[in-house]
Amino acid sequence: MRLTFLGTGSAMAVPDRAQTGLLLESDDRALLVDCGSGVLQRLSGTDVGYEGVSTVLLTHHHLDHVADLLPLLKARWLAGEEHLEVVGPAGTKSLLDGLLDVHDYLDGRVDLSVREIGPTEFSVAGFDVAATEMRHSMDCLAYRFAGDGNGDVVFSGDGEAAASTARFADGAAVLAHDCSFPDDVDVSNHPTPSLLGEALAGHDIGRVYLTHLYPHTRGRHEEMLDSVTARYDGDVRFASDGLRIEV
């Protein structure tokens, strides 16, 4: 399985990070996880391209995770692709219906299917997935993608550091986790490095990548890594747009 970070930024734009989006590939399967602003452009630079991604899995419905959904639909229509599936938490159908009400000329251009899921196990785009709830300002799911014998990949989506999420990720080869702000920023609904390190302490994860980075983190990566690893004895790194990992 290959993981590509398409967007590692947040709702506050920076030049070198698109908003949230991850691409998972295995053999001839491809799955886009979240589709924030700038993700479509990043996707166009991959071998898969937007033509090769017919399924999007959403962690939640905040704008920086869904802004490129309709641009993706339109690009696929213009490229002659006929289908798009969007899977996500409760309310995903209402989200798509509302977007198409505004941009009604796109309605019916492709065969759009929508599936809503909860904290359970399911299959999507040929991937076996388990989901668990995150503590965030709206309903949000973290996902664990079963590997092909080489380990699983876990993506937190957005949300606070929690022991339940760490247990969910235990034993995974890769965990991509929200770490939006340094420790001196007073924030809820997102973790700081020290809180993330405390939550992960004692768990066995192959490699942790910090993502969903606000501008507040610029120039402070070493300090943030030190804060996580002072509490969690594991391999922790910062994600960056375009980073590809073989799992």
Exposed (0-12), middle (13-18) or buried (19+): which is 204, by Cβ within 10 Å?
Answer: exposed
DSSP 230: T
Model pTM greater than 0.75?
yes
Which pLDDT score, from 0 to 100, does residue 44 have? 98
Which pLDDT score, from 0 to 100, does residue 149 have? 75
> Is 238 in a helix, a strand, or coil?
strand
Which pLDDT score, from 0 to 100, does residue 148 have? 79
Cβ–Cβ contacts within 10 Å for residue 226, how many? 13
Span 67-86, pLDDT tens digits = 999 999 999 999 999 999 99
Active site residues: 64
Q: Which residues of 36-72 are buried (b: 16+ CB within 10 A; e: fewer)?
A: bbbbbebbeebebebebbbbbbbbbbbebbbbbbbbb
Which pLDDT score, from 0 to 100, does residue 189 have? 87
Mean pLDDT per segment of 10 residues, for the chain of length 247 residues? 97 97 96 98 98 98 98 98 98 98 97 98 98 95 91 96 96 98 92 96 98 97 98 98 97
